[in-house]
Amino acid sequence: MTDPETLSVTIVDGYVDEPAHFGVPPYISTYPRYAAGALVDAGVPRDQITYHTIDRLREQPDYWRDVDEADLMIYLGGMTVPGKYVGGTPAEPDEVRKLAWTANGTSLMGGPVKFGVGEENAGATETERQDLDFDFVAKGDVEAAVHDLVDSGLEGFNNRMRDLDEVSRWAQEGAFIVEQHPNHPAHLICELETSRGCAYRCSFCTEPLYGNPEFRPPPTVVGEVDALSDYGVKHFRIGRQADILAYGGDGEAPNPDALRQLYSGIREVAPDLETLHLDNMNPITIVNWPERSREGIRIIAEHNTPGDTAAFGLESADPVVQEENNLNVTAEECFEAVRIVNEAAGWRPGEDPADAPTFGDGAPRRLPKLLPGINLLHGLKGEREETYERNRAFLQRVYDEGYMLRRINIRQVMAFDGTDMSDTGAKIANDHKQLFKRYKKRVREEIDNPMLERVAPPGTVLPDVHLEYHQDGTTFGRQLGTYPLLVGVPGERELGRTIDVAVVDHGYRSVTGVPYPLDLNAASMNELTAIPGIGDSTAGDIVVNRPYDSIADADLGTAFDLSQFVTTRSLESAD
């Protein structure tokens, strides 16, 4: 019998991406925090628990000794939706096997990896259940397995699901682990779980495998935020649920009172938070209960931070695909939900919420508080060429009728055992790969670009953009939040810093920006020419004739209002 007080434990985070759960940096998922809390609850001292991300092991091989020497090594990971990532790279199956082979102590694997493993983390793939050479695989909740395995002296556990009391306790007790994340404290956003499971049964989705929705009471989530705040966390995303509007209710109908308790409670215990965003919102909830949904959406927009996104799982605008895959919302219903969110929460800081949605010259230059995002999934049963045109036409209608989408997510299905798509697999997605590529390119060009300019017109200020990497003489960064805009800033700037940026141009899913406010007495040629209305000749004149006492003193003669972008500082303060 192994005494918990003598155990050394290493947790390796291979990252997760689920329909209602995100954990690729700068996010940290609930799994490592809950697992750490379960360890402490079972008697393992905090100072004997080590946490590493898979990227840290790649970049600093010396840390593999913690995998080798631990009495218990816990791997957490699994991708059940495919994506492209900037802040980290999810563990591949061969790396996970290496973890098992390296560990000399007991090894345990858990998280959404239990649903299956493909050859790579990508769409249009099929998966199968594999143990990847671990001693134990948690087929239930990994945090419950961690607790019971330690409690048994590393002898074993019965696969089970944790209860609400346990998860509430472990969420707070495991908050300390965030201090060991490489992004802590400034560039880390914590995923918060309000519920899991889903009342609906879409063919492809793994979320219903968790059962019907079960909600954590508001005080337990607020208590977790309070604990995380004590460890320096200022960025939060209420992302671990299938439908935020259903929180605290019967699993389908909205409960505005529960949302008010949740959001106001978070603001009370974390008054200095810098990000409060969410993820999933079911459009069918909005259509079925429009007034209660409006109230809930207004509560969210009152307490959140700008640039928030409510992901809508439309998945397909084709009624044939909707029928064959048990999708719960039609294109017409989803359009109505888009309209309601725009009207209830599409306002920008500095204006009357009743004016929403706003865009164009008269709108304040900040991102709207909350907008819908659309998820479209291809390779589903019944998909045909007409499906692609119906999806594109839906998006075009949203734009043409004057509404906004924060982002459009187009991906191909992953097929998992236990879902209705397991029999079909990835065959349809593979057969339609070329059609998918052409359609995706058209959407990016015809919809994404003009929509992005509507959401973030030139002059829009994006505070606290974290600079992440260089490419082709440009520095790229993002704000922390749900689906943040990728921002390219001219020149190679010091990475790891945060700067305020003003948008000057738009790509398909990214923007170009200049530091805000840009100092005419210090700006580079590349920065100046990025501003609308300033070409090479004007930029050259600006540089030659510096310094200026004011913008008017520069007498630039541009039709565009440059005060949205630039200022003048004295030479003593310019850098």
Tell me if residue 51 falls in helix, strand or coil.
strand
Q: Give the pLDDT score at 250.
A: 83
Tokens 């006492």 correspond to 549
Say what the pLDDT of residue 232 is.
97
Neighbour count for residue 161 (Cβ, 10 Å): 14
DSSP character string of 379-442: S-TT--HHHHHHHHHHHHHHHHTT---SEEEEEE-EE-TTSGGGTTTTHHHHHTHHHHHHHHHH
More confident residue, 558 or 364: 364
Looking at residue 209, its pLDDT comes to 67
In the chain, the domains with their CATH numbers are: 1-187 (3.40.50), 306-457 (3.30.750.200), 460-567 (1.10.150.320)
**Quick one: pLDDT at residue 551?**
82
Whether 236 and 275 have beta carbons less than 8 Å apart is answered as yes
Mean pLDDT of the chain: 89
For the cut 80, the answer to whether the pLDDT of residue 535 exceeds it is yes
Which of 242-246, 409-413, 426-430, 458-462 shows the lowest per-residue confidence on average (mean pLDDT)? 426-430
What does the pLDDT read at residue 213?
A: 75
Q: What is the pLDDT of residues 340-360, one digit of tens each?
A: 999 999 999 999 999 999 998
Is residue 201's pLDDT more than 80?
A: no
Percent of the chain whose predicted confidence (pLDDT) is above 70: 90
Mean pLDDT (whole number) for 233-250: 91
DSSP annotation of 517? S
Residue 118 has what pLDDT?
Answer: 45
Task: Please list the residues that pair with 410 across neighbouring strands.
Answer: 376
pLDDT of residue 47: 97
* pTM score, whole prediction: 0.90
- List, for residues 13-62, the tens digit of each pLDDT value: 999 988 778 899 999 999 999 999 999 999 999 999 999 999 999 999 99
Residue 223 has pLDDT above 50, yes or no: yes
Check whether 431 has a pLDDT greater than 70. Answer: yes
When pLDDT is cut at 50, 70 and 90, the band that residue 573 belongs to is very low
Buried b (16+ CB within 10 A) or exposed e, 269-282: bbeebbbbbbbbbb
- pLDDT recorded at residue 563: 75
CA triple 68-72-30, angle to 5 deg: 110
Alpha helices in 289-354 (DSSP H): 290-303, 319-324, 331-345
C-alpha distance from residue 571 to each of 455, 517, 521, 525, 541 (Å):
36, 16, 7, 17, 18
